[in-house]
């Protein structure tokens, strides 16, 4: 398990890259694009922590770092829930279109939105899918 300072050191370049990719003019950050990128980061790291160079046990610490980064850029009180609520909204759909995400990428973000925002509904939905696959 990584120490918080090691996690911060490992992910600071990623956060910097996301800020730069979301910057429109000098220091103006496109908040919508930024949220798409941060949601993508979180989804990918949760799916494959090893590919990100961390262990599953590091996810809690990384979650705290991501929330700290979100609060710094989007304002105090911003959480991953806030980001995934945005992803599930009409403006979020529009941001994903403008970012030219392919359907698989959009599906991944919607899947995570479902998991995070409505875990019970997500479990029912996944159960229905599994049941339909058995038929």
pLDDT at 122 over 70: no
Threshold 0.95, pTM exceeds: no
Residue-wise pLDDT for 4-50, tens only, equals 888 899 999 999 999 999 998 888 999 999 999 999 999 999 988 99
Tens of pLDDT, residue by residue over 41-98, are 999 999 889 998 899 899 999 999 999 999 999 999 999 999 999 999 999 999 999 9
Domain boundaries along the sequence of the chain: 4-134
Amino acid 132: pLDDT: 76
Using H for helix, E for strand and C for coil, what is the string for 68-86?
Answer: HHHHHHHCCCCCHHHHHHH
């Amino acid at each position: 398990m990584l120490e918080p300072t090691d996690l911060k050191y490992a992910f600071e370049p990623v956060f910097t890259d996301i800020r730069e990719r979301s910057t429109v003019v000098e220091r103006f950050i496109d908040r919508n694009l930024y949220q798409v990128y941060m949601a993508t980061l979180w989804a990918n790291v949760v799916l494959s922590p090893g590919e990100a160079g961390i262990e599953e046990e590091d996810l809690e610490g990384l979650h705290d770092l991501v929330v700290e980064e979100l609060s710094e850029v989007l304002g105090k009180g911003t959480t991953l829930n806030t980001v995934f609520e945005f992803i599930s909204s009409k403006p979020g759909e529009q941001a994903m279109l403008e970012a030219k995400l392919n359907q698989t990428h959009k599906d991944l973000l919607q899947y995570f939105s479902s998991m995070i925002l409505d875990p019970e509904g997500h479990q029912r939905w996944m159960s229905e899918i599994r049941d339909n696959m058995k038929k």
